[in-house]
Amino acid sequence: MIPKISIYPDYEAMSLAAADRVIALLNHKPDAVICLPSGSTPVGMFRELVSASQKGNADFSRCIFVGLDEWVGLGGDDEGSGRYMINRDFLKSVGLKDNQVIFFDGKARDPYLECERINKIVSELGGLDLIVLGVGLNGHLALNEPGTAWNTYAHVVELDEVTKVTGQKYFSKTAVLEKGITMGIRHILEAKTAILLANGNQKAKVIQRALSFPVTPAFPATVLQNHLNAEFLLDREAGSLIDWTSENI
């Protein structure tokens, strides 16, 4: 099953479309459970969501936010952590209360128990209404690295070398990145809607592979072909190698 593909002229238009998807969900279900990523790709989406909130066009007062992933060993006050970035780029500007935010504690004494905690909370909430994802150069979704089994919920991962290297861009000095803690592939597949965001030429081959066969744990992004309601939101550069007619986009 090929996910829906929407290609936009530039990053700004892609980001606005992503924000519109989130706002549409909130208008339909104000208490939606939404899992959003940190990092550089969603910054434009966050900017649009913050603007909509400040203008009174988006109401986050009843929704629940679930963090996508975190570096093991880092907490919300550590520069470059997932919590640090998403607090900076989004959460602090839309006035979410503490009880609306569920996030991995990368400094938890036992990260495996932390996974159980998150799994239990998400299950009790009835699962995710929406999960928004970026995609790594190695095809990872969240921190589900190549080789991750499809049946995983939240789990601890040994980081792929590609992730260790690319992850350095979030830090002002070299960081020791060895493990991550992440929402699992089953969380992605069971979310009512999954949206993947990608922009730039460096993601073109990644997107091409994500939409190709075989669907395999060796390239986790291909699993979105198995999702019942997935959409790829791309800028023109990221979508430049997709071989579809206009009727498919």
**Catalytic residues, which ones?**
69, 138, 140, 145
| Separation CA 130–CA 139 (nearest Å) | 20
> Can you state the angle between helices 43-54 and 11-28, rounded to 10 degrees?
50
Backbone angles phi, psi at 36, to 5 degrees: -120, 150
* Beta strands at 4-8 and 64-67: parallel, antiparallel or unpaired: unpaired
C-beta separation of 238 from 207 below 8 A: yes
Backbone angles phi, psi at 34, to 5 degrees: -125, 130
| Separation CA 232–CA 239 (nearest Å) | 9
Please measure the distance between the N-terminal and C-terminal CA atoms of the chain and give it in whole angstroms.
14
